A and B are shown apart, each in its own frame.
Chain A
């Protein structure tokens, strides 16, 4: 370290920490902005407002001041503002091996694809539990892959990536699963968040959070079509099993916008609740369920008429949900709204639209919970990132089985089509080896960790045996 670096460090070290008053003001400003955003009734671009506030401080403060605080947003706010110690990742030595794990037994040729910030996608042969050579899809650190879908024949994986920090155009990279080669990335809108594919595999829809649009992609040619304008800040998207309608949750406007797939035109938006966050459609296509993060409700929509049924109340910390493949149960994930409350999984019986007794899964707030359900709908695997544990839940009785502790952590999960193995993203974080840990579902035993690209954030498995 020579002179100029020391001087620069001194220059930086000379700056005192903001005093308590300043921090409190920033905290209040942030909390108001988050409440506004989750409330969904604010002006379009809070970010712009804060930038303006830089130049017109007083005006800026007043501008942020007139938002009514929304108590229900407390849990959402908690992710950034509240709690203690929950964000520190669980750190254990991670055993790793690329050798075949004999305990996996005979299997099928399904392949798991793991992506994140490494600019690569790592295929894992799920039958053997071995990682193949990573497929490069972009620059290291330049982007984050956040979602993967497959064509119905399993021949192509589509990987959605956006810039790490947010803003800027995103891409969808098709990967041929037979050869594990990446095709040319398809550019979509600003800050894409989610994608869904039609049951016939002809079209992919990508929600562009900052562009307020949905980009259709024709898979035959891998070309993006004209973006479809939807409501404010679209995030979740789901397509009906008949492939006729896509439902898009506009987080900003508290609406769900249906898109007619035949014409790529929007239908009349349906008012749900503040900050609609997740959409799940029953296998019969009759009902779309929307989780509203703001008020903590699940709104059933009858797809035939667009009629909204009575919202089902769920805890305030509910932020995501998943439906069993048979469509009988929805599991709502609740982080708990303070560090004194455990994270919960709330089953909703779709036959009656009633919430059943919550199942505690340990302290989760304000980190995250992921879920995957076996194809036979019998077991839900719930990963708690705070505790680094996976809780299997028997769906028939709603009982939690013994927690499975994973070395490294417990992030997103995917289950093989034969239901034999759950793959959990375990190792993540700068400077740490990215790892995935298989869990054998017959015994709920964790197997050897598999090394993948660094900072993995998404895992998905080909839908059915290939060939």
Chain B
């Protein structure tokens, strides 16, 4: 149940950060760690989502260099191995690639803590859930997020003429 319900989302999250091949193994490893800690989860019987994202994040943290390399490769080539093949119009694709390169470069430059917060929130977790996942207070999530977003915004700022609408605050 836990696996069937959460594995696709956890798989996407890991694939986003380490690429699809690494995700295969880490998905299994995330749920194995969850199995080991099932006493804790069972007791609290709440939503398992933040807990699973937290385990996955912890595991991704062990492959920090691989993650940085992964984002740098996207920045260099504009090709995102984790993404679905783009079927949009050619113009959009080029625009998207440009933005993607800048974004990937910015992500590679962030600290691990900042990347964790940013990508958990961007993956759809709320602040409270992100705080639970990272085992930090909600206030820490907010402050890390503010700093991480500023860094990314600065990295993107004015460098992406193909997407003029994006700089609006």
Contacts and interface: CB of A to CB of B under 8 A. Distances in A.
Interface stretch (A159-167, A221-229, A281-289, A341-349): A159-167
B137 A26 contact: no
Given A3-B166, A4-B149, A87 B23 contact: no
B40 A87 contact: no
B1 to A, nearest CB: 4
A458 B24 contact: no
Contacts of A5: 121-122, 149
B44 A50 contact: no
B44 A116 contact: yes
Contacts of B45: 87, 89, 367-368, 385, 409, 411, 428-429
A32 B15 CA distance: 22
A30 B10 CA distance: 14
Given A144-B40, A429-B46, A458-B43, A17 B11 contact: yes
Given A12-B12, A47-B32, A81-B3, A166 B37 contact: yes
Contacts of B124: 9, 12
B167 to A, nearest CB: 6
Interface in A123-145: 139-144
B125 to A, nearest CB: 10
A8 interface: yes
B111 interface: no
Interface stretch (A53-61, A101-109, A195-203, A240-248): A53-61
A448 interface: no
Interface in A65-106: 76-77, 79-87, 89
A166 B36 contact: yes
A320 to B, nearest CB: 9
B168 A2 contact: yes
Interface in B105-133: 118-119, 121-124, 128-129, 131-132
B35 to A, nearest CB: 5
B85 to A, nearest CB: 9
Nearest to A16: B84
B34 A80 contact: yes
Given A3-B168, A146-B40, A164 B51 contact: yes
Contacts of B123: 12
B7 A34 contact: no
A15 B122 CA distance: 12
A18 B7 contact: yes
Interface residues of B, number: 79
Given A26-B7, A80-B2, A366-B1, A193 B47 contact: no
A428 B24 contact: no
A25 interface: yes
B33 A18 contact: no
A86 to B, nearest CB: 6
B12 A16 contact: yes
Among B42, B54, B152: residue with most chain A CB under 10 A:
B42
Nearest to B2: A80
A15 B84 contact: yes
Interface in A181-207: 193
A23 B11 contact: yes
Interface string B17-34: 000111111111101111
B155 to A, nearest CB: 8
Contacts of B32: 30, 33-34, 37, 46-47, 50
B38 interface: yes
B135 A11 contact: no
Given A14-B83, A141-B135, A164-B135, A146 B39 contact: yes
A27 to B, nearest CB: 6
Given A27-B3, A165-B37, A429-B47, 17 more contacts: A2-B153, A8-B103, A12-B13, A47-B32, A50-B29, A50-B32, A57-B25, A80-B1, A81-B31, A141-B134, A141-B137, A143-B135, A165-B135, A166-B55, A366-B2, A368-B45, A430-B132
Interface of B: 1-5, 7-9, 11-13, 15-16, 20-29, 31-40, 42-48, 50-51, 54-55, 58, 62-63, 80, 82-84, 99-100, 103-104, 118-119, 121-124, 128-129, 131-132, 134-137, 149, 152-153, 156, 163, 165-169
16 contacts: A11-B100, A16-B12, A17-B8, A17-B9, A18-B27, A26-B27, A30-B28, A47-B29, A53-B25, A60-B25, A80-B1, A80-B3, A87-B2, A139-B136, A411-B43, A455-B46
Nearest 6 pairs of A and B residues by beta carbon: A429-B46, A3-B166, A368-B42, A14-B83, A8-B122, A18-B11
